[in-house]
């Protein structure tokens, strides 16, 4: 607390004396205090500034012009402080800037204006400072633009810097005024002091005004070749800034080449900045070859890496990561030179180095000694990251999560560093827990369990829940520990803490699924807690347990009946589960429960508005009434085991993420394409030489990755595409017999239920998402040919790699009029897009409907969603005489600037001739962007399909299409939509297809073709769901063509 | 054509205080509206403690990366794929710089020095590229405020912006300025080790590791080239160095060879992992229990020395965050003072020196809110302590040699061990 003794101020009009703190009230939080009313506002201001700065004032005295204060300051023991009051009562203390905020009066701007135009240098500077301070807190002081710019011509470096600060902020809103500053900039770029040269070029780049950029080119060119490296490195960044404002200008002026030359600069800082600038520019040109990495440039970068600043090292390392080494020796030598970065104090440098090493390690043979050494070297820096600030820890943990999935061996001995401290922030706790489970193995499971049990008694509910789930996951992952896990869970249930009990029951259900007939003895304990369950998931789990083990629970009917009372108040999940459980119960104990089952069936079918519930009710009803034996086989079928790791990242995505360690993508575990946000392109990175190694190294990685995130996922027998896609827990391949198709009633029901069936049945697993919404095959009627054992041959059968020849011509939609003659002074353009052998062509017919000759044709595209741009100038043999038309074919590339358009495939074109420039927009079929290598591996397809969330799925109908599936498949292949697998169920052909856009976005499709039905159904899944509509249009266009 | 920008590294920076006021904003390119922060405020609202706000937040068009330091959120807005660690490191560097310049990093101090803060931010980041983040370099360009200089500037009309070229920027040793002169040449090294440990109920070590740091204060004339060697360098298998340290020599000879920055800096940090045996200097006997009935509980804590390397344990302090239901405590301490904060429910027992002959003990009863259920969670004990003149890992500096300059510097090494995140579970 400040202590105020006495202030005397003798001004022209006032004599104020304050004797004690009584008259001056203030708080530490608010520097404005209410002072005795007799003080003028100026004096108040003065006092407040003063008091903020001093910790305590011992005493003060005054004479006519000068007040002397004796200060006692905390940090600097005793200072005598002479505070000068100028004649004009300028309280211009340098002590604190807070005075600049004490006035918010309306006349402030006016007052500042006057001060800015003052003759006195000092006053001017003070005024500029006030302006800057206002700007800092978000006040609008743009009205002062001309006055501030006037202060720019000065020798005073501080004043100059302040004006520059102001200019950068407001030039955009006052472009015409900003021109006034240009001359000074140009002059400053010639200044003998390199600091000023650099400052000028730096500031010019920050002024985002088109008109100024042209004046900037010459000074920038000079600065890029400046003798002083400090200026060169500043200029390098400036090129990136300029590129952002006007990309064309930068290319035309040849700055990109100069920038590339700077990579060979003698000064490491210049190299680092050049790399940073090039990387930034390259980001807006996803496919351009700006950073042409070859062994020579690599060598230069690696040399600069050792000598530049920490930030420069990050840029360089990120750039190195894009390189693909020629062989394992080069890989090793790069790794050797990057390894020292692991000992850097800056964690971002460390993580970038880890990225480079993780990527290049893929190239190294596993039996190499160096490979083992490298693995060992990676562990300590990762562990060290965990002792940094919590925010850094969080990012590190998200990345470690990826690393342990890819290479669990690196951190397998470091379990303890992931133990949770009670004062870790919650976001760190949750991440640590996740990694602990990933690292859990037979060797360390005892410790892990002890820890998890400890966590289950913490305060934070979310964390406790996750800890309980983790115990369940351990049980499923490490078989030897299952028993201990179950007993730990039982202990936790005994605590009777409500949410702990509920979580425990949910995970115990999964344990039952994984180890059938082993732990059912605990059911009695679980049943005791029936009443305390109030969360749908826990209730559903409990009901599932009761239904599944109805024969062992004496009062199962009573228990289930008790749930039935409030049937309509339950959530859908619980209702569905209850329905199934009671049907199970009925099939097991038919004599006692007939009433119950009728009750639930009528509740589900007659009183429910939920179609899922109703449909499932009807299915059961009909099954039970037509063929109880079949019903038993269906409902009580043996369930496939659930998988060990339920949340592994899909392998292709994991590979991609490993290449993006340290980026936002790695924090969110989403592919970089999910971050497109319309404003920069996507570069898909793949691990070098990893396509084969992924499988050879961990044969079960793929199947494990294929499992969905749902807690009770089905393990597909590997390679069983159909079982997997169908996700039918009720029809394990082994037990599905060739059931008779007889019974018109039953078939009728199936037809009636159509495509929704599988989702209903899939839902039995407690909400595990059904895959395609369109698998209309009733499980009971599934032909035996589709059970697992034969799936291998199925694959061959439907492997279309070689079986289908390329169709003759590519699909070419008819031309449409893009630019009518009446809108373009007689110029008419009609056209279309086509893809021929990997090249996108814009086919145009240009007609001259004017009376005069047309010449000088040129074309330009606006930024568009996929970076389409003309690959060269348009070739029109001009002049084009009146009434003449000409066919032009313009090859396009996809390296142009990217911006998301609406609709996505919209292209805005500027077309120029000797008369004028005309603008039109057209839409290209997205199929021209389907790359030739868009055929996905089958396994990858499976995993990807599952990994893409269901909300990304969209379904479309194609009406009146009379092709059979082979013809459709052929036609689609002509636009690079590849059929990966095909199967027939009940006369419906299902085609599974993939396609890849030029920017690396994959789209997956399921096409349903039914003989005799002219309506096709396409289900599309894509990580970028916005492309689905366009993809569908391509389907429709090509199939109907 | 259309206004469309590719974002750069760090687009904007906002400083936000605990009550959610934005008291500083800086935009390096176009101005980002404050509305983007709504996503942050939403997350802040949800978090129980300010520390629990997730450091990376996604909004439809931007990413918000924030750190929490000195009761301030430093929040960077970014638009493109930027390494988040890069941003977080940078934000911490900004906070460090404020600390360095103004003695503390707080809202008031920043508000009082807004113009300097603004100038600093401008120097530190250019178009999203970090420019000058070394404190030596910054101080050459923007002088830190001192009261004395303010007086002088006011009288003479001088400024606190240097018109010197930051010479260090241009050399290959950017961390050291040229032409350093001292009358007393001295080099001091502090070896500081912090024990991070978790002990379980029975006193068994669940996890323990040592975070070590060597802080240096080097005031030497000219361009000295120093070599620091250890008695037992094999302890150090996980190290991070200041950029001045020559990594090659460390790898081959296990010595630290470097041209030091001028003044205070962190020479290296190291980490002695949980796989080595970490000596735990004290043991804690504790019993905190709550009774099912009667709305009360018992607390009994005794602390004794364990592996102290023959030194005295000082600054001993125990902090216990009690369950929310604990209304008050009725305890007696055999040594030191204790306080119980009713608002935060934190019990702090300040013991001071640990006397091996007479072990400090704290015991008594806890009264729990009547009718409240028996607290489920077990409070953890947080221990603070300090041991002078010893590095608990056993690390010892062997010698310091100086090359390149003629004079004889004064040298000194100091060791201290502290408790880091040292927790005892109950």
Taking a C-beta distance cutoff of 8 angstroms, is the pair A986, A776 a contact? yes
How far, in Å, CA of A226 to CA of B170, rounded? 13
**pLDDT value for A893:** 86
A671 in contact with chain B, both atoms CB, cutoff 8 A = no
Q: What is the SS3 assignment for A644?
A: coil
- Quick one: DSSP state of residue B268? E
Answer with the one of B156, B174, B201 that is the final residue of a domain. Answer: B156
User: In sequence order, what are the beta bridge partners of A864?
Assistant: A898
Q: What is the SS3 assignment for A468?
A: helix
Neighbouring residues of B70: CB distance < 8 A, sequence distance ≥ 6: B95, B99, B104, B105, B106, B107
**pLDDT value for A665:** 85
Tell whether A597 is covered by a domain: yes
**pLDDT value for B243:** 82
Q: Which of A749, A729, A771, A779 is nearest to A580 (CA)?
A: A729
Residue B195 is part of which domain span? 186-278+392-424
- Residue A103's pLDDT band (boundaries 50, 70, 90)? very low
Q: Where do the H-state alpha helices sit in A896-953? A: 938-947
- Quick one: DSSP state of residue A759? H
Asked whether the beta carbons of residue B159 and residue A158 sit closer than 8 angstroms, the reply is yes
How far, in Å, CA of B10 to CA of B26, rounded? 10
pLDDT, tens digit (0-9, with 9 covering 90-100), for A998-1011: 887 888 888 888 77
B47 and B87 assigned to the same domain: yes
In chain B, residues with a C-beta closer than 8 Å to the C-beta of A234 are 126
**pLDDT value for A366:** 85
A1034 and A933 assigned to the same domain: yes
Total domain count, chain A: 4
Residues in chain B with pLDDT values less than 50: 1-7, 148, 151, 153-158
Residue A483 is part of which domain span? 440-532
Asked whether the beta carbons of residue B84 and residue A129 sit closer than 8 angstroms, the reply is no
Q: What is the DSSP string of B97-125?
A: HHHHHHSS--HHHHHHTHHHHHHHHHHHE
Q: Where do the H-state alpha helices sit in B288-425? A: none
How far, in Å, CA of A174 to CA of A602, rounded? 73
How far, in Å, CA of A205 to CA of A38, rounded? 51
How far, in Å, CA of A910 to CA of A919, rounded? 5
Q: What is the domain-level CATH number for residue B14?
A: 3.30.450.60
User: In sequence order, what are the beta bridge partners of B348?
Assistant: B319, B339
Q: Name which of A332-341, A779-788, A1009-1018, B60-69 the model is least confident about.
A: A779-788
A227 in contact with chain B, both atoms CB, cutoff 8 A = no
In chain A, residues with a C-beta closer than 8 Å to the C-beta of B425 are 454
B286 and B274 assigned to the same domain: no
**pLDDT value for A399:** 94
In chain A, residues with a C-beta closer than 8 Å to the C-beta of B243 are 309-310, 344-345
A852 and A903 assigned to the same domain: yes
Check pLDDT > 90 for residue A285.
no
pLDDT, tens digit (0-9, with 9 covering 90-100), for A3-30: 332 333 333 223 233 333 333 333 233 3
For B:131-190, CB contacts with A below 8 A are 133-134, 145-151, 153-155, 157, 159-166, 169-170, 172, 174
B111 and B204 assigned to the same domain: no
Residue/partner pairs of B138-142 with CB below 8 Å, 24 or more apart: B138/B97, B140/B164, B140/B166, B140/B167, B140/B168, B140/B177, B141/B166, B142/B116
Helix (H) or strand (E) holding A971: helix A965-973
B212 and B314 assigned to the same domain: no
A419 in contact with chain B, both atoms CB, cutoff 8 A = yes
Q: What is the domain-level CATH number for residue A841?
A: 2.60.40.1150
- Residue A775's pLDDT band (boundaries 50, 70, 90)? very low
**pLDDT value for A799:** 38
Total domain count, chain B: 3
Query: Would you state the structure tokens that stand for residue B199, as one six-digit string?
Result: 């002990």
Tell whether B147 is covered by a domain: yes
B410 in contact with chain A, both atoms CB, cutoff 8 A = no
**Which residue out of B22, B51, B54, B84 would a mutagenesis test of the A interface target, given it has the greatest number of A Cβ atoms within 10 Å?**
B84
> How close A383 gets to chain B, by Cα (Å)?
8
Asked whether the beta carbons of residue A241 and residue B127 sit closer than 8 angstroms, the reply is yes
The more confident residue out of B305 and A208 is: B305
Check pLDDT > 60 for residue A698.
no
Asked whether the beta carbons of residue B112 and residue A427 sit closer than 8 angstroms, the reply is no
- Quick one: DSSP state of residue A685? -
A229 in contact with chain B, both atoms CB, cutoff 8 A = yes
Q: Which of A251, A246, A248, A275 is nearest to A263 (CA)?
A: A275
In chain A, residues with a C-beta closer than 8 Å to the C-beta of B176 are none
Strands B410-424 and B129-130: unpaired
Q: Which of A780, A762, A782, A786 is nearest to A772 (CA)?
A: A762
Query: Least CB-CB distance to B6: which of A81, A244, A908?
Result: A244
Asked whether the beta carbons of residue A394 and residue B115 sit closer than 8 angstroms, the reply is no
B61 and B121 assigned to the same domain: yes
| CA within 13 Å, CB half, A243 | 26
Asked whether the beta carbons of residue A97 and residue B113 sit closer than 8 angstroms, the reply is yes
The rounded Cα A893 to chain-centroid distance in angstroms is: 26
The overall average pLDDT reported for chain A is: 73
**pLDDT value for A76:** 25
Q: Name which of A470-479, A653-662, A715-724 the model is least confident about.
A: A715-724
Rg, C-alpha atoms of chain A: 36
- Quick one: DSSP state of residue A118? -
Check pLDDT > 90 for residue A172.
no
The more confident residue out of A54 and A646 is: A646
Asked whether the beta carbons of residue A384 and residue B238 sit closer than 8 angstroms, the reply is yes
Query: Would you state the structure tokens that stand for residue A579, as one six-digit string?
Result: 């329905």
Check pLDDT > 70 for residue A710.
no
Q: Name which of A703-712, A865-874, A913-922, B244-253 the model is least confident about.
A: A703-712
- Residue A86's pLDDT band (boundaries 50, 70, 90)? very low
**pLDDT (mean) for A918-926:** 87
Q: How many CB atoms lie within 10 A of CB A179?
A: 15
Q: Name which of A257-266, A912-921, B126-135, B312-321 the model is least confident about.
A: B126-135
Tell whether B164 is covered by a domain: no
Check pLDDT > 50 for residue A295.
yes
CA distance to A708, A777, A974, per residue, from A1016 (Å): 28, 16, 19
pLDDT, tens digit (0-9, with 9 covering 90-100), for A379-412: 989 988 888 889 999 999 999 999 998 888 898 8
Tell whether B220 is covered by a domain: yes
Q: What is the DSSP string of B177-209?
A: -S----SS-EEEEEEEEEEEEEE-TTS-EEEEE
pLDDT, tens digit (0-9, with 9 covering 90-100), for A833-886: 888 878 888 888 888 888 788 888 888 888 888 888 888 888 877 688 888 888
B67 and B147 assigned to the same domain: yes
b/e for A483-503, b at 16 or more Cβ within 10 A? Answer: ebbbebbeebbeeebebbbbb
B143 and B127 assigned to the same domain: yes
Answer with the one of A517, A532, A547 that is the final residue of a domain. Answer: A532
Tell whether B161 is covered by a domain: no
B357 and B210 assigned to the same domain: no
Check pLDDT > 70 for residue A64.
no
User: In sequence order, what are the beta bridge partners of B188?
Assistant: B217, B412
pTM, entire model? 0.66
Tell me which residue has tokens 């064309």.
Answer: A248
Helix (H) or strand (E) holding A170: helix A157-170
Tell whether A214 is covered by a domain: no
Q: Name which of A601-610, A793-802, A1003-1012, B260-269 the model is least confident about.
A: A793-802
Burial of B404 (0-12, 13-18, 19+ CB in 10 A): exposed
A517 and A559 assigned to the same domain: no
B384 and B301 assigned to the same domain: yes
Backbone angles phi, psi at B193, to 5 degrees: -120, 140
Check pLDDT > 70 for residue A948.
yes
User: In sequence order, what are the beta bridge partners of B299?
Assistant: B288, B364
A540 and A528 assigned to the same domain: no
B146 and B25 assigned to the same domain: yes
Q: What is the domain-level CATH number for residue A971?
A: 3.30.310.10
Q: Is the dihedral of CA A102, A106, A110, A111 positive or negative?
A: negative
Answer with the one of A924, A942, A971 that is the final residue of a domain. Answer: A924
Q: What is the domain-level CATH number for residue B326?
A: 2.60.40.1170
Neighbouring residues of B254: CB distance < 8 A, sequence distance ≥ 6: B229, B230, B233, B234, B236
**pLDDT value for A678:** 41
**pLDDT value for A75:** 24
Cite the beta strand spans of A125-173 per DSSP E.
none
What percentage of chain A exceeds 90 in pLDDT?
6
Tell me which residue has tokens 């003479």.
Answer: B156
**pLDDT value for A338:** 92
- Quick one: DSSP state of residue A326? S
**pLDDT value for B234:** 83
Tell me which residue has tokens 């839409």.
Answer: A923
B329 and B273 assigned to the same domain: no
User: In sequence order, what are the beta bridge partners of A83?
Assistant: A67
B363 and B415 assigned to the same domain: no
Answer with the one of A924, A955, A987 that is the final residue of a domain. Answer: A924
User: In sequence order, what are the beta bridge partners of A1016?
Assistant: A958
How far, in Å, CA of A810 to CA of A723, rounded? 35
Q: CA dihedral in degrees (A424, A427, A429, A433; nearest 10)?
A: -160
A967 and A1031 assigned to the same domain: yes
Q: Name which of A138-147, A221-230, A824-833 the model is least confident about.
A: A138-147
**pLDDT value for A193:** 81
Taking a C-beta distance cutoff of 8 angstroms, is the pair A959, A1003 a contact? no
Tell whether B222 is covered by a domain: yes
**pLDDT value for A811:** 65
């Amino acid at each position: 607390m400040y202590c105020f003794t006495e202030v005397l101020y003798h001004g022209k009009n006032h004599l104020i004396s304050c004797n004690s703190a009584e008259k001056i009230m203030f708080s530490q939080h608010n520097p404005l205090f209410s002072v005795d009313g007799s003080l003028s506002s100026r004096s108040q201001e003065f006092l407040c500034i003063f008091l903020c700065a001093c910790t305590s004032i011992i005493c003060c005295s005054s004479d006519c012009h000068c007040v002397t204060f004796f200060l006692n300051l905390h940090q600097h023991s005793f200072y005598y402080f002479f505070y000068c009051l100028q004649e004009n009562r300028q309280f211009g203390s340098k002590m604190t800037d807070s005075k600049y905020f004490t006035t918010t009066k309306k006349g402030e701007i006016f007052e500042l204006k006057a001060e800015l135009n003052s003759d006195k240098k000092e006053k001017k500077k003070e005024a500029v400072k006030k302006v800057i301070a206002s700007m800092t807190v978000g006040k609008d002081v743009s009205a002062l633009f001309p006055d501030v710019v006037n202060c720019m011509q000065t020798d005073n470096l501080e004043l100059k810097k302040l004006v520059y600060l102001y200019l950068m902020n407001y030039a955009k809103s006052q472009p015409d005024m900003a021109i006034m500053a240009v001359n000074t900039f140009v002059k400053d770029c010639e200044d003998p002091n390199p600091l000023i040269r650099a400052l000028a070029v730096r500031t010019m780049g920050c002024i985002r005004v088109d008109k100024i950029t042209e004046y900037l080119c010459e000074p920038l060119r000079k600065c890029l070749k400046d003798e002083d490296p400090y200026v060169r490195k500043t200029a390098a960044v400036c090129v990136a800034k300029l590129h952002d404002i006007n990309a064309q200008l930068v290319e035309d002026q040849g700055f990109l080449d100069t920038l590339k030359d700077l990579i060979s600069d003698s000064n490491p800082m210049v190299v680092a900045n050049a790399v940073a600038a090039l990387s930034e520019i390259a980001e807006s040109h996803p496919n351009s070859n700006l950073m042409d990495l070859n062994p020579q440039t690599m060598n230069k970068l690696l040399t600069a890496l050792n000598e530049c600043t920490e930030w420069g090292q990050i840029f360089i390392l990120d750039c190195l990561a894009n390189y693909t080494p020629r062989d394992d020796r080069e890989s090793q030598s790069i790794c050797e030179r990057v390894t020292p970065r692991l000992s850097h104090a800056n964690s971002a440098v460390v993580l970038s180095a880890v990225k480079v090493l993780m990527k290049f390690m893929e190239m190294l043979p596993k039996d190499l000694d160096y490979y083992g050494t490298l693995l060992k070297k990676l562990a300590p820096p990762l562990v060290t990251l965990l002792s940094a600030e919590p925010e850094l820890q969080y990012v590190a943990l998200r990345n470690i999560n990826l690393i342990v999935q890819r290479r669990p061996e690196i951190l397998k001995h470091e379990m303890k560093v992931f133990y949770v401290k009670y004062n870790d922030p919650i976001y760190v706790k949750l991440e640590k827990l996740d990694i602990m489970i990933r690292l859990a193995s037979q060797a360390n499971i005892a410790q892990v369990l002890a820890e998890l049990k400890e966590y289950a008694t913490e305060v934070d509910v979310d964390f406790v829940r996750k800890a309980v789930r983790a115990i369940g996951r351990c049980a499923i992952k490490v078989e030897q520990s299952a028993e201990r896990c179950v007993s730990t869970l039982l202990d936790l249930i005994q605590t009777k803490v409500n949410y702990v009990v509920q979580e425990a029951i949910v995970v115990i259900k999964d344990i039952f699924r994984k180890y059938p007939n082993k732990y059912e003895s605990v059911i009695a304990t679980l049943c005791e807690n029936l009443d305390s369950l109030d969360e749908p998931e826990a209730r559903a789990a409990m009901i599932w347990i009761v239904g599944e083990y109805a024969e062992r629970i004496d009062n199962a009917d009573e228990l289930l009946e008790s749930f039935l009372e409030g049937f309509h108040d339950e959530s859908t999940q619980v209702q569905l589960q209850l329905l199934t459980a009671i049907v199970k119960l009925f099939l097991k104990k038919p004599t006692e429960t007939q009433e119950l089952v009728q009750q639930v069936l009528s509740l589900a079918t007659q009183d429910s508005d939920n179609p899922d519930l109703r449909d499932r009710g009807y299915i059961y009803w009909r099954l039970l009434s037509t063929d109880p034996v079949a019903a038993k086989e269906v409902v009580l079928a043996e369930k496939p085991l659930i998988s060990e790791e339920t949340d592994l990242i899909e392998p292709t995505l994991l590979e991609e993420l490993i290449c993006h360690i340290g980026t936002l993508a790695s924090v969110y575990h989403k592919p970089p394409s999910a971050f497109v946000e319309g404003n920069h392109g996507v570069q898909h990175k793949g691990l070098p030489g990893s396509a084969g190694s992924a499988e050879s190294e961990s044969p079960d990685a793929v199947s494990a990755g294929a499992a969905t995130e749902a807690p009770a996922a089905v393990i597909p027998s590997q390679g069983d595409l159909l079982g997997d896609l169908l996700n039918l827990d009720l029809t394990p391949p082994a037990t599905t017999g060739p059931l008779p198709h007889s019974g018109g009633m039953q078939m009728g029901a199936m037809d009636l239920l159509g495509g929704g069936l599988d989702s209903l049945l899939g839902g039995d697993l407690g909400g595990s998402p059904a895959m395609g919404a369109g698998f209309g095959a009733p499980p009971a009627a599934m032909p035996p040919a589709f059970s697992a054992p034969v799936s291998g041959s199925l694959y061959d059968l439907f492997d279309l790699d070689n079986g289908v020849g390329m169709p003759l011509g590519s699909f070419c939609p008819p031309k449409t009029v893009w630019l009518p003659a009446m809108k373009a002074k007689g110029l008419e353009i009609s056209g279309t897009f086509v893809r021929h052998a990997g090249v996108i062509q814009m086919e145009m017919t240009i007609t001259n409907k004017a009376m005069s000759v047309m010449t000088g044709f040129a074309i330009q595209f606006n930024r568009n969603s996929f970076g389409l741009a003309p690959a060269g100038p348009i070739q029109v043999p001009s002049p084009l005489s009146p009434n003449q038309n000409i066919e032009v074919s313009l090859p396009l590339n996809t390296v142009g600037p990217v911006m998301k358009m609406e609709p996505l495939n919209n292209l805005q074109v500027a077309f120029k001739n000797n008369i004028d420039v005309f603008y039109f927009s057209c839409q290209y079929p997205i199929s021209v962007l389907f790359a030739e290598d868009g055929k996905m591996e089958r396994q990858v397809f499976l995993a990807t399909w599952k990994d893409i969330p269901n909300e990304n799925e969209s379904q479309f109908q194609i009406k009146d299409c009379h092709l059979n599936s082979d013809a459709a498949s052929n036609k689609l292949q002509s636009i690079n939509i590849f059929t990966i697998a095909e199967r027939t169920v009940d006369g419906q052909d299902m085609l599974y297809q993939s396609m890849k856009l030029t920017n690396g976005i994959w789209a997956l499709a399921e096409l349903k073709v039914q003989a005799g039905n002219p309506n096709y159904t396409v289900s599309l899944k894509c990580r970028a769901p916005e492309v689905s509509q366009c993809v569908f249009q391509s389907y429709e266009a090509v199939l109907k063509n | 054509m259309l206004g469309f920008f590719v974002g750069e590294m760090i687009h904007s920076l906002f400083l936000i205080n605990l009550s959610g006021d934005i008291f500083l904003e800086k935009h390096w390119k176009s101005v980002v509206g404050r509305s983007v922060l709504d996503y942050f405020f939403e997350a802040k609202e949800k978090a129980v403690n300010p520390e629990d706000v997730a450091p990376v937040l996604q909004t439809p068009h931007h990413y918000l990366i924030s750190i929490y330091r000195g009761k301030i959120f430093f929040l960077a807005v970014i638009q493109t794929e930027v390494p988040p660690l890069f941003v977080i490191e940078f934000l911490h560097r900004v906070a460090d710089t404020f600390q360095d310049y103004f003695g503390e990093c707080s809202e008031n101090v920043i508000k009082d020095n807004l113009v300097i803060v603004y100038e600093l931010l401008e120097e530190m980041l250019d178009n999203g590229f970090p420019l000058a983040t070394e404190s030596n370099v910054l101080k050459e360009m923007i002088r830190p405020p001192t009261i004395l200089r303010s007086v002088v500037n006011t009288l003479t009309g001088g400024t606190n912006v240097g018109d010197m070229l930051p010479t260090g920027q241009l050399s290959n040793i950017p961390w050291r300025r040229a032409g350093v002169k001292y009358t007393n040449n001295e080099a001091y090294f502090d070896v500081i080790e912090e024990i991070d440990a978790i002990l379980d109920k029975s006193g068994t070590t669940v996890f323990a590791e040592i975070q070590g740091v060597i802080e240096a204060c080097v005031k030497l004339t000219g361009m000295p080239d120093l070599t620091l060697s250890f008695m037992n360098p094999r302890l150090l298998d996980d190290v991070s160095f200041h950029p001045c340290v020559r990594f090659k020599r460390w790898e081959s000879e296990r010595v630290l060879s470097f041209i030091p920055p001028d003044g205070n800096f962190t020479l290296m940090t190291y980490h002695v992992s949980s796989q080595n045996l970490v000596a735990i200097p004290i043991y804690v006997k504790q019993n905190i229990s709550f009774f099912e009935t009667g709305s009360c509980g018992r607390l009994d804590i005794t602390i004794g020395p364990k592996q102290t390397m023959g030194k005295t344990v000082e600054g001993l302090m125990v902090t216990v965050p009690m369950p929310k239901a604990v209304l008050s405590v009725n305890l007696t301490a055999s040594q030191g003072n204790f306080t119980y904060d009713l608002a935060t429910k934190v019990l702090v027992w300040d013991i001071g020196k640990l006397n091996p002959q007479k072990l400090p003990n704290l015991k008594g009863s806890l009264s729990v809110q009547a009718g409240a259920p028996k607290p489920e969670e077990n409070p953890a004990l947080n221990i603070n302590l300090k041991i002078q003149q010893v590095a608990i890992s056993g690390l010892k500096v062997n010698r310091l040699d100086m090359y390149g300059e003629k004079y004889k510097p004064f040298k000194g090494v100091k060791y201290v061990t502290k408790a880091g995140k040292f927790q005892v579970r109950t």
